[in-house]
Structure 1
Amino acid sequence: MDFENTGIENTVIDLNVLDDVMKQHGLIRAGQWDYERVTYDKKYEIKEGIFYLRVFGYTKDGDVGAHDAIITLLKPALGKHYYPHGIEYGENEVFPNHLLKSCEKTLTALSADLKPFELNA
């Protein structure tokens, strides 16, 4: 499930600043990156299962591995984890209302905290 109109999509920001701001909101990059893309995850372990709020980003020119990149963020998504297959984002997934509200609260706060650091695209 994609979150629309969060104010996050198309934000352009320095990778090092982004790592810090994301961490403040429980979104961790860990090993989810390659030299052009990043993924930040916030894990929710609730009675309905394990879910991940994900924020994706990419760089046009830069090197994520060298911590030298300007990242453009994409639409955040919410997925459900199925062992051992991974994360599913499909239309048939059911996401509890309390989880959606928590994700929306995180994304609203994140959007506000990213604004002061946003670079011109």
Structure 2
Amino acid sequence: MYPLESKIENQTFVLNHIEEKLKSHGFVIGPNWDFDHGSFDLLMANDHGYQYLRLPFKVSSGSLDMDGAVIQFKTPYLLTHVYNKGLDDNIGLEGNATASINQFQEPIEADANVPGKYQKKGREILKLVESYLT
């Protein structure tokens, strides 16, 4: 994980107002959301692992499943996941339903070092995000 300083940190926004802006630039709601927190994730590249820019937030009013929810951004960061290639060795130990969904191996490194070129790219993308959100 590589934290980034940002003008959006601690800023509050109505989720409905910024969600479409972020999605139109390739961001998606990250998989680890709950009613009181979440993140917008952007896959920057998938060489030498998956390179993400993550914009984490907490809900300061309402909940993520409600119109008008207000979010407050936390410190943005870059994240690298390095995965094994191929099928998961544990498929034979799981049931058919689970194996049909989870075919791929666990990451070699879930929080690997972020290569320098992606640190630079992440900072550039974050500057663009700041310009269309603030």
Using the size of structure 1 for normalisation, the TM-score is 0.79
Match of 1:75 in 2: 75
- Does residue 29 (structure 1) correspond to residue 29 (structure 2)? The answer is yes
Match of 2:96 in 1: none
The residue type equivalent to 2:118 in the other structure is L
Where has structure 1 moved over 6 Å in runs of 4 or more? none
**Number of residue equivalences:** 110
What is the Cα-based RMSD across aligned positions, in Å?
1.9
Three-state SS of the structure 2 residue aligned to 1:60 is strand
Q: After superposition, what is the alpha-carbon deviation per residue over 1:5-64, rounded to whole angstroms, capped at 9, x for unaligned?
A: x21101110011121121133211154421111211111334322121110001122111
Match of 1:8 in 2: 8
Cα distance change of structure 1 residues 60 and 47 upon mapping to structure 2, 3 Å threshold: closer
- Does residue 104 (structure 1) correspond to residue 133 (structure 2)? The answer is no
Say if 1:26 and 1:42, in contact at 8 Å, map to a contact too. Answer: yes
Unpaired runs of 5+ residues, structure 1, are 116-121
Larger Rg: 2
Q: Which has the higher contact order (CA 8 A, sep 6+)?
A: 1
Using the size of structure 2 for normalisation, the TM-score is 0.72
Determine what percentage of the aligned residue pairs are the same residue: 25
